[in-house]
Copies of this chain bind each other. A is one copy, B any other.
């Protein structure tokens, strides 16, 4: 057992931190201004910094293998890097490490045909296009993936797609070129896990209507956004099928583990930064005649905030380590623990940091309000906490009651 970073990770952390300090923190205001001008386009500052990061080799760090140009880091090695990226809401994309592209690239790498990889994985790995993962539906509890109702009907050489999806993250982005769409090709299959398939739909395919962006707690998360999408007799060639008919559920399962851990690490980064902001704030703010930092209640709060951040970090690293050793499926207990605890505790830390900033903490003058939204959203993204608690509880009762 050992809690120290390896030399390689230490080196990467140092370089990432330097990049953040030099290029990202000073440009937070620029990003906000550029986005305001052109909501769903990639802000110039993003493209500029992507080029810089790529040139420095801070690129595709998330990608486990090296065969597709990934950095070849383990989950345990990548986790502390994702934490650093999480300190600024839009930073992960600079290193081509942002959801949902990361998960989608893994899907292409693992399940795509050479043609599909050539056409979509390559430009994604190069950061030339963006992608969406179209899974959640407004009318069913989509955390149970077998519930999805979108119809994918085979007809000759084509699939015909009909239905409504929402919370397609990234789909508002005008450079989102490819949509991975989950639906049912065989809705009457007695095996509920073989009814689903995933097909690719290109931007601009007739009948695919990006209906509207969705906000979360007042945030529209430009420029990627979350979209509601209507599929009205959308036709794609059969070669757009991923992996095989009836294997959509399998792909969905394989995609989830790392994504959850990445979310956790980014929430931790946001919470750590909120803690640091809180410390600066209380050290520099006077109320009722003394610095806030001399208040016992403030010190107690800071101590608890830091303890929560550290516990979240350790839990997530432990989950990443287990994924590396025994695989995502076997590590599902620790992934679930991280998914349950980190967004909740991170949310509490950020909430307290806001409180210490007074009314200003709620505004866009600080990164806190947006981080608050991110942590809150993560308690629902990839399945609400309750779904993970139920599954984890069931598994633990089986295991521990048999001891």
Binding site for B on A (CB under 8 A): 1-6, 9, 76, 136, 138, 140-144, 147, 166-167, 214-219, 226, 275-276, 279-280, 282-288, 292-293, 295-304, 306-307, 310-312, 314-315, 317-318, 321-322, 325, 333-334, 336-337, 340-341, 351, 354-355, 358-365, 369-370, 372-373, 376-377, 379-381, 384-390, 392-394, 396-397, 399-401, 403
Residue contact B287 to A396, C-beta cutoff 8 Å? no
7 A–B contact pairs at CB < 8 A? A136-B359, A297-B297, A297-B299, A297-B386, A297-B389, A302-B392, A351-B376
Q: Which residue of B6, B283, B392 contacts A1 across the interface (Cβ within 8 Å)?
A: B6
Further 8 A-B residue pairs, CB within 8 A, beyond A215-B363, A293-B401, A303-B392: A215-B362, A217-B372, A280-B401, A283-B397, A293-B397, A298-B393, A310-B337, A351-B376
Q: A377-B362, A401-B283 are in contact. Are A369 and B216 (CB under 8 A)?
A: yes
Kindly provide the distance from the CB of A363 to the nearest chain B CB, expressed in whole angstroms. Answer: 5
Q: Which residue of B6, B311, B322, B355 contacts A311 across the interface (Cβ within 8 Å)?
A: B311
Residue contact B298 to A364, C-beta cutoff 8 Å? no
Kindly provide the distance from the CB of A403 to the nearest chain B CB, expressed in whole angstroms. Answer: 6
Q: A216-B369, A297-B300 are in contact. Are A401 and B279 (CB under 8 A)?
A: yes
Kindly provide the distance from the CB of A232 to the nearest chain B CB, expressed in whole angstroms. Answer: 21
Residue contact B380 to A362, C-beta cutoff 8 Å? yes
Residues of B within 8 A of A276 (CB): 400-401, 403
Residue contact B359 to A301, C-beta cutoff 8 Å? no
Residue of B nearest to A376 (CB): B362
Residue contact B218 to A340, C-beta cutoff 8 Å? no
Cα of A306 to Cα of B76 in the assembled complex, Å? 22
Cα of A369 to Cα of B219 in the assembled complex, Å? 10
Residue contact B321 to A315, C-beta cutoff 8 Å? no
Q: Which residue of B279, B317, B322 contacts A400 across the interface (Cβ within 8 Å)?
A: B279
Kindly provide the distance from the CB of A150 to the nearest chain B CB, expressed in whole angstroms. Answer: 16
Q: A1-B5, A293-B397 are in contact. Are A390 and B310 (CB under 8 A)?
A: no
Cα of A362 to Cα of B292 in the assembled complex, Å? 32
Residues of B within 8 A of A310 (CB): 315, 318, 334, 337
Residue contact A373 to B217, C-beta cutoff 8 Å? yes
